[in-house]
Amino acid sequence: MFFVRPLVAALLVQTTLALVPIGYTASGLPFFLAPSGSRVQQSGRNMDVFAPNGTLIHTFEDVIPTNFKAKRQETLARRQEVSATEAYAQFSTTADNEIDSFNATFVVPPVPTSFDSQIIFLSANLQVLDPNGVPFGNLRAALQYGGSFLPGTGPFWTYTVQLEIPGGGYLSVSFPGVNMTLEVGQRINTFIVADPALDAETKEELGVFWHIAGFDNVPDSPTLEIGWQVPPQLVALELEEEGVSGASDYPAGSFVFEQINLNLTTGPPAAFYWNTSVDPTTDVQVKVDVEGSQDAQVSFVFPSA
Ligand X SMILES: *[C@@H]1O[C@H](CO)[C@@H](O)[C@H](O)[C@H]1NC(C)=O
Catalog residues that contact ligand X under the rule CB under 6 A.
35, 51, 53, 55, 57, 78-79, 90, 101, 103, 179, 181, 183, 191, 193, 216, 261, 263, 267-268, 273, 275
Instruction: Rank residues 51 and 82 by Cβ distance to ligand X and give the closer one.
Output: 51
Instruction: Rank residues 111 and 301 by Cβ distance to ligand X and give the closer one.
Output: 111
- Provide, rounded to whole angstroms, the least separation between the CB of residue 152 and ligand X: 8
- Provide, rounded to whole angstroms, the least separation between the CB of residue 234 and ligand X: 8
Separation between Cα atoms, residue 145 and residue 17, nearest integer Å: 31
Strand partners for 11 = none
- Provide, rounded to whole angstroms, the least separation between the CB of residue 103 and ligand X: 4
Instruction: Rank residues 110 and 246 by Cβ distance to ligand X and give the closer one.
Output: 110
Q: What backbone phi and psi angles, to 5 degrees, belong to 290?
A: -130, 120
Instruction: Rank residues 68 and 156 by Cβ distance to ligand X and give the closer one.
Output: 156
Assign 91 to helix, strand or coil: coil
Separation between Cα atoms, residue 229 and residue 224, nearest integer Å: 17
- Provide, rounded to whole angstroms, the least separation between the CB of residue 285 and ligand X: 17
- Provide, rounded to whole angstroms, the least separation between the CB of residue 201 and ligand X: 19
Task: List the strands of the sheet with 187-194, edge to edge.
Answer: 56-60, 46-50, 39-43, 224-228, 209-215, 187-194, 99-107, 254-264, 296-301, 285-290
- Provide, rounded to whole angstroms, the least separation between the CB of residue 50 and ligand X: 9
- Provide, rounded to whole angstroms, the least separation between the CB of residue 26 and ligand X: 25
Count other Cβ atoms within 10 Å, centred on residue 231: 26
* Burial call 250-274: b when 16+ CB within 10 Å, e when fewer: bbeebbbbbebbbbbbeeebeeeeb
Q: Is the Cα dihedral 263, 268, 270, 273 positive or negative?
A: positive
Instruction: Rank residues 183 and 205 by Cβ distance to ligand X and give the closer one.
Output: 183
Instruction: Rank residues 163 and 244 by Cβ distance to ligand X and give the closer one.
Output: 163
Assign 249 to helix, strand or coil: helix
* Burial call 128-156: b when 16+ CB within 10 Å, e when fewer: bbbeebebbbbbbbbbbbbbeebeebeeb
Instruction: Rank residues 53 and 66 by Cβ distance to ligand X and give the closer one.
Output: 53
- Provide, rounded to whole angstroms, the least separation between the CB of residue 79 and ligand X: 5
CA distances from 117 to 26, 81, 144, 267, 281 (A): 10, 28, 12, 43, 18
Terminal Cα distance for the chain, rounded: 48
Instruction: Rank residues 27 and 179 by Cβ distance to ligand X and give the closer one.
Output: 179
Instruction: Rank residues 59 and 244 by Cβ distance to ligand X and give the closer one.
Output: 59
Assign 183 to helix, strand or coil: coil
- Provide, rounded to whole angstroms, the least separation between the CB of residue 272 and ligand X: 10
